[in-house]
């Protein structure tokens, strides 16, 4: 009897568990069905009925009820119905134990108009994903239902999706670990089932590929070594074509449509070395909007409209300000774009009818920040990435006799500027030059404004560079000019000279230039470039008067470089190549004569990861070499050899080191790029062509 009773109890428990599990599954099915009605079908009234039914049917489950109510309130909010406030307030009041739902309701309430005022208050923004400092996972696109983001997993070089509801990433490709191949610029299809993306292959050029959002075997849609660079932007509304740009070997950019069925290509327009930041189809697929800089000598962009059938092209927006495309609002006759015409970046919209702009653009929301465009959901919410994080210049006091730091590096005093990079002391030690990343540079490590900071007076002088981006700086020894490495406005990589007195901008070296240094007499420039062997690099000495070049030192892969104050010695940090051709796993710090000769290894670093960070500098007296380890540690070692000493480990992503001429101060540029994903909501009522705009 006892065994029978126990068996009955166990059976009852198992049945109850099975019923509970089945109910949970049904709750999920019902909730996902309502979400599809809201986001995929765009039927807000139908979704409201479904969410209401879920809240009533599963009222015993507080988590499900709270989630359904928040979704229901959001539908009312998009319809401009004051019922949204009542439901949000109910969630905050009655479901405080459901922390995520209550927090979401409070956030939504803060964006609503005060009671009694007009409900349509214009767009609201909120952050949906973002890591701490150093988060380099930039989302590329959002799925039509707003649940998934596509992105590159830079740790492994795989294509991945981010599930915003579950808060986890899923890798779709199978690199598994970094091997030099990687995806970029992924775009989710209009039905949310496929992703188009560019793939940087082992042969050094890009392919266009397609893969299912659940993974599987990717399909190469286009591969041509004459096309070096591919960037997909959007799927056509009928999902039969992919809108992309091709960058060819002859330095032209093509706006193209690639057939999803067979990979055939139709060129819509051929441009010069410049290309669009963003392209987007009109909702009916008849037109393509894109941005482009009309002048070669400025980075500011205008908007253009191109007929897909090969017909006319018209300017959509011509203005002295910097305008760039965000996208075409779903089921609308409005184009959304960002512009700094009001002083700071804002979101603007302009109406288009029969392929022509109508009326003046209208400001929707100001202060949107450094936006990296993504795309719309079917519900009309616009997703975008923001470049955040703090990059600053830090100074510290040095003991000249030992090379040790006497205090903790602290930020340079002066006007706040975002994205300070590449700080270097002037030859007289009175000024610091550094780069500032402005709103015209989309992410990355570069900048396009040079700032000269005079320490005694605090005066700061900004010089816009005729460069799409710059990364490294060095003063000319007489202090009259600055050398900057990067890319000019014609897309040419190299090293350029900026005359601080006359304002002249001129190329010094074209080609891939890494770190560089200038001899104290101003006659010789040392730089990292391509070596005689295709598989390696070299330190090259360039005579600035005769323009003759001499290879001083060959190395494998990448290298660090610093020139001693007397110009006699070069300090390098590189992985050595053995006689059998193999490359050392561990980098070494070496000293070699600047005129050429055999290097002397003063230390082999027993950590392969330290090879990734090659910032270097000499002490003013030439006794010590400063170098970075990992991304946040500053070390020094005697030039004569010995054990290295760690000086600081409280920084992150050190990108430059500069020693004051008196040897008593150090300037360090450090800080991490941080990328967040945001959404801009309530841009346009669904189902209509007109746009509700906030009062001006």
Q: Please write the tens of the pLDDT for every residue from 309-339.
A: 877 889 988 888 888 999 999 888 899 999 8
Domain boundary among 78, 110, 142: 110
- Look at residue 4 and tell me whether its pLDDT is greater than 50: no
Residues 406 and 552 in one domain: yes
- Sheet containing 279-281, strands listed edge to edge, beginning at the edge strand earlier in sequence: 279-281, 287-292, 302-307, 313-317
How crowded is the C-beta side of 371, counted as CA atoms within 13 Å?
A: 32
- Give a yes or no: residue 310 inside a domain: no
Packing angle of the helix pair 99-110, 62-78 (nearest 10 deg)? 20
- Look at residue 5 and tell me whether its pLDDT is greater than 60: no
How crowded is the C-beta side of 470, counted as CA atoms within 13 Å?
A: 31
pLDDT of 610 reads 58
Lowest model confidence (mean pLDDT) among 255-264, 539-548, 606-615: 606-615
Residues 548 and 663 in one domain: yes
What are the angstrom distances between the C-alpha of 472 and each of 148, 387, 416, 666?
37, 20, 20, 17
Residues 231 and 142 in one domain: yes
- Give a yes or no: residue 427 inside a domain: yes
Closest listed residue to residue 183, CA positions, set 143, 142, 232: 232
Integer Cα distance of 618 and 616 in angstroms: 7
Residues 133 and 177 in one domain: yes
pLDDT of 352 reads 92
Q: What CATH number corresponds to the domain at position 57?
A: 1.25.40
Integer Cα distance of 589 and 574 in angstroms: 7
Residues 141 and 251 in one domain: yes
Integer Cα distance of 107 and 102 in angstroms: 9
Residues 167 and 74 in one domain: no
- Give a yes or no: residue 213 inside a domain: yes
**In terms of residues, how long is the chain?**
696
Q: How confident is the model at residue 23 (pLDDT cuts 50, 70, 90)?
A: low
- CA dihedral of residues 485, 488, 491, 492 (deg, nearest 10): -60
Report the Cα 377 to chain-centroid distance in Å.
21
Please give the residue range of the domain that contains residue 532: 391-567+616-628+650-674
What value does the mean pLDDT take over residues 465-482? 90
User: Pairing state of beta strands 241-248 and 253-259?
Assistant: antiparallel
Residues 133 and 260 in one domain: yes
The residue among 236 and 682 whose pLDDT is bigger is 236
Residues 419 and 490 in one domain: yes
- Give a yes or no: residue 660 inside a domain: yes
- Look at residue 685 and tell me whether its pLDDT is greater than 90: no
Domain boundary among 250, 275, 300: 275
- Give a yes or no: residue 136 inside a domain: yes
Residues 54 and 148 in one domain: no
Lowest model confidence (mean pLDDT) among 32-46, 432-446, 496-510, 610-624: 432-446
Q: What CATH number corresponds to the domain at position 220?
A: 2.120.10.30
pLDDT of 445 reads 43
- Look at residue 613 and tell me whether its pLDDT is greater than 60: yes
Percent of the chain with pLDDT over 70: 84
Integer Cα distance of 58 and 383 in angstroms: 32
What confidence tens digit (pLDDT) does each residue in 137-158 have? 789 999 999 999 999 988 888 9
pLDDT of 531 reads 57
What value does the mean pLDDT take over residues 96-103? 86
Residues 146 and 269 in one domain: yes
What confidence tens digit (pLDDT) does each residue in 241-250 have? 999 999 988 8
Residues 474 and 527 in one domain: yes
Lowest model confidence (mean pLDDT) among 141-145, 369-373, 563-567: 369-373
What value does the mean pLDDT take over residues 119-137? 67
pLDDT of 178 reads 66
What confidence tens digit (pLDDT) does each residue in 32-54 have? 888 877 765 667 788 899 999 99
- Give a yes or no: residue 445 inside a domain: yes
- Look at residue 9 and tell me whether its pLDDT is greater than 60: no
Lowest model confidence (mean pLDDT) among 103-112, 207-216, 376-385: 103-112
Residue 484 burial by Cβ neighbours in a 10 Å radius (0-12, 13-18, 19+): buried
Number of domains in the chain: 3
pLDDT of 132 reads 45
Quote the mean pLDDT of the chain: 83
pLDDT of 604 reads 86
How crowded is the C-beta side of 269, counted as CA atoms within 13 Å?
A: 25
Q: How confident is the model at residue 633 (pLDDT cuts 50, 70, 90)?
A: confident
What confidence tens digit (pLDDT) does each residue in 487-526 have? 887 778 899 999 998 889 999 999 888 899 999 999 999 9
Closest listed residue to residue 233, CA positions, set 379, 373, 368, 329: 373
Q: How confident is the model at residue 683 (pLDDT cuts 50, 70, 90)?
A: confident
- Give a yes or no: residue 91 inside a domain: yes
Residues 668 and 539 in one domain: yes
Integer Cα distance of 71 and 36 in angstroms: 12
- Sheet containing 516-518, strands listed edge to edge, beginning at the edge strand earlier in sequence: 516-518, 524-530, 536-543, 549-563, 569-577, 583-593, 600-604
Domain boundary among 211, 245, 275: 275
- Highest mean pLDDT of the ranges 279-293, 369-383, 607-621: 279-293
Q: How confident is the model at residue 111 (pLDDT cuts 50, 70, 90)?
A: low
The residue among 452 and 692 whose pLDDT is bigger is 452
| Helix H or strand E encompassing 64 | helix 62-78
- Look at residue 439 and tell me whether its pLDDT is greater than 50: no
The residue among 304 and 577 whose pLDDT is bigger is 304
- Give a yes or no: residue 467 inside a domain: yes
Integer Cα distance of 542 and 526 in angstroms: 6
**Rg of the chain (C-alpha set):** 29
């Amino acid at each position: 009897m006892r065994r029978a009773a126990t068996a009955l109890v166990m059976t009852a428990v198992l049945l109850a568990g099975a019923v509970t599990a089945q109910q949970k599954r049904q709750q999920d099915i019902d909730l996902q069905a309502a979400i599809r009605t809201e986001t995929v079908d765009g039927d807000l009234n139908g979704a409201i009925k479904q969410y209401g039914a879920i809240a009533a049917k599963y009222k015993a489950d507080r988590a499900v009820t709270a989630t359904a109510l928040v979704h229901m309130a959001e539908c009312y909010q998009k319809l401009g119905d004051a019922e949204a406030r009542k439901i949000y307030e109910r969630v905050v009041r009655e479901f405080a134990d459901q922390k995520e739902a209550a927090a979401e309701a409070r956030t939504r309430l803060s964006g609503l108009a005060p009671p009694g005022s007009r409900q349509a208050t214009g767009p609201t923004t909120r952050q949906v994903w973002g890591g701490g400092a150093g988060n380099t996972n930039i989302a590329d696109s959002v799925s039509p239902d707003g649940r998934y983001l596509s992105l590159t997993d830079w740790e492994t070089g795989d294509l991945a999706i981010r599930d915003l509801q579950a808060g986890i990433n899923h890798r779709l490709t199978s690199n598994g670990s970094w091997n030099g191949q990687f995806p970029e610029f992924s775009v989710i299809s209009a039905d949310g089932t496929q992703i188009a993306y560019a793939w940087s292959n082992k042969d050094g050029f890009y392919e266009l590929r397609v893969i299912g959002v659940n993974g599987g075997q990717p399909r190469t849609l286009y591969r041509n070594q004459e096309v070096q660079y591919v960037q997909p932007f959007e799927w056509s509304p009928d999902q039969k074509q992919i809108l992309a740009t091709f960058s060819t070997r002859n330095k032209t950019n093509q706006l193209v449509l690639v057939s999803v069925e067979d990979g055939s290509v139709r060129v819509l327009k051929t441009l010069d070395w410049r290309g669009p930041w963003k392209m987007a189809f009109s909702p009916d697929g008849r037109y393509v909007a894109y941005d482009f800089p009309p002048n070669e000598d400025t980075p500011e962009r205008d908007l253009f409209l191109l007929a897909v059938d090969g017909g006319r092209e018209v300017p959509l927006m011509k203005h002295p300000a910097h305008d760039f495309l965000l996208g075409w609002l779903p089921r609308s006759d409005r184009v959304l774009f960002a512009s700094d015409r009001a002083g700071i970046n804002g979101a603007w919209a302009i109406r288009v009818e029969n392929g022509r702009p109508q009326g003046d653009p209208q400001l929707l929301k100001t202060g949107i920040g450094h936006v990296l465009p993504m795309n719309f959901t079917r519900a009309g919410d616009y997703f975008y990435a923001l470049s955040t994080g703090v990059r600053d210049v830090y100074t510290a006091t040095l003991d000249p006799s030992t090379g040790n730091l006497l205090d903790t590096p602290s930020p340079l005093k002066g006007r706040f500027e975002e994205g300070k990079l590449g700080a270097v002391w002037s030859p007289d030690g009175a000024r610091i030059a550094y780069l500032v990343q402005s709103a015209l540079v989309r992410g990355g490590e570069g900048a396009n404004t040079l700032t000269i900071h005079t320490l005694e007076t605090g005066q700061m002088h900004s010089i816009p560079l005729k460069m799409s981006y710059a990364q490294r700086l060095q003063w000319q020894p007489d202090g009259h000019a600055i050398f900057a490495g990067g890319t000019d406005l014609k897309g040419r990589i190299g090293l350029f000279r900026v005359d601080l007195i006359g304002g002249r901008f001129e190329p010094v070296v074209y080609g891939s230039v890494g770190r560089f240094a200038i001899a104290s007499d101003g006659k010789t420039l040392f730089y990292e470039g391509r070596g005689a062997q295709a598989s390696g690099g070299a330190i090259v000495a360039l005579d600035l008067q005769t323009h003759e070049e001499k290879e001083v030192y060959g190395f494998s892969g990448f290298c660090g470089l610093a020139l001693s104050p007397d110009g006699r010695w070069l300090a390098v940090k590189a992985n050595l190549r053995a006689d059998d051709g193999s490359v050392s796993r561990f980098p070494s710090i070496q000293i070699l004569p600047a005129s050429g000769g055999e290097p002397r290894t003063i230390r082999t670093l027993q950590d392969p990861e330290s090879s990734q960070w090659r910032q270097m500098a000499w002490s003013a007296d030439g006794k010590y070499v400063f170098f970075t380890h990992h991304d946040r540690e500053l070390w020094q070692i005697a030039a004569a050899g010995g054990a290295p000493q760690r000086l600081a480990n409280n920084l992150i992503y050190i990108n430059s080191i500069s020693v004051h001429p008196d040897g008593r101060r150090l300037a360090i540029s450090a800080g991490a790029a941080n990328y967040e994903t945001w959404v801009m909501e309530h841009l346009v009522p669904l189902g209509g062509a007109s746009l509700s705009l906030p009062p001006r």
